[in-house]
Amino acid sequence: MSPFTLAHLSDPHLGPMPPARFAELFGKRAIGYANWKRRRHMIHRRDVLARLVADLHAQHPDHIAVTGDLVNVALPAEFTQARAWLEDVGSAHDVSLVPGNHDAYARATRGQFALSWADYMRGDGEDEVGFPYLRRRGPLALIGLTTAVPSAPFMATGRIGAAQLAALDSLLATLKAEPLCRVVLIHHPLRSARGRWSARLTDAPALIDILTRHGVDLVLHGHDHRHATVWFESQRGRFASIGVPSASASSGGHHQPAAYQLISFARKDDGAWSISHRVRGLSGNAEGIIELKSERLG
């Protein structure tokens, strides 16, 4: 059987920013809107994102995972714009999405992502969006979590919450009987390589406890806008948590330029999983998307 390939990208921060009414710009959203107009629009470029997605499609992955932050300040019009982009990336069956903190940036639209992008976040056989969700694709059990909660100005924290943690605990227990490779999709990293207290996952210790107790095979995240691989030990052996830069980040400056990863999964004769990934993206001033690195993860 040929390997199953999962493509992973994150944090597209779609531009251009749609016009905003004065009544929509207050509190944290006003700060974020001004920051986009002043600086962030030069970092997050739609042409870069288009080149990255075109290269991804040329690799013909079996499935695509997107780990949040499609929008910037959660204006109502941004969700419509993001829905159109998702449809260009792929069908709801072929693309699995989890939200990021920017997708819940404002309390007024904190639940809008679950309405606008429902098809991309609905678990198999489910009528409503709920987290954690479970999607079986090929040999994978894709488990989607949400960390998207509104936070105070200048904060970018996330939270799983007690109800979702309990549901995840039960879900992983039931999956033990199935010969599937368990891949967790989440926006905030379990352990940030940047160490930003203001952008942490506040209940990460409780989540790590569940994942290491049950054992999973891989965790994919975004949020930090940088390449990251962090290893964890579980009762089933170690697993990696991997992050990627923003999919729209331009070259130059202090940020890491846009990249995505292609992860291949194959079952070994002993029942364990062989996992490897290739990273493709921008490098320096290169115009095209190139192979940046490859690595075995199991």
Q: What is the pLDDT of residues 94-152, one digit of tens each?
A: 999 999 999 999 888 889 999 999 999 999 999 999 999 999 999 999 999 999 999 99
Tell me what the pLDDT averaged over the chain comes to: 94
Spatial distance between the Cα atoms of 106 and 286, rounded to a whole number of angstroms: 37
In the prediction, which pLDDT does 286 show?
Answer: 60
What percent of the chain clears pLDDT 70, i.e. is strictly above it?
98
Q: Is the pTM of this model over 0.85?
A: yes
Model confidence pLDDT, tens digit, residues 236-261: 889 999 999 999 999 988 899 999 99
Mean pLDDT for the stretch of residues 166-186: 96
Q: Residues, the chain, total?
A: 298
Cβ–Cβ under 8 Å, residues 207 and 84: no
Domains of the chain, earliest start first:
4-296 (3.60.21.10)
Spatial distance between the Cα atoms of 224 and 201, rounded to a whole number of angstroms: 11
Spatial distance between the Cα atoms of 84 and 68, rounded to a whole number of angstroms: 15
In the prediction, which pLDDT does 194 show?
Answer: 75
In angstroms, what is the C-alpha Rg of the chain?
A: 18
- Cα 122–Cα 222–Cα 13 angle in degrees, nearest 5: 85
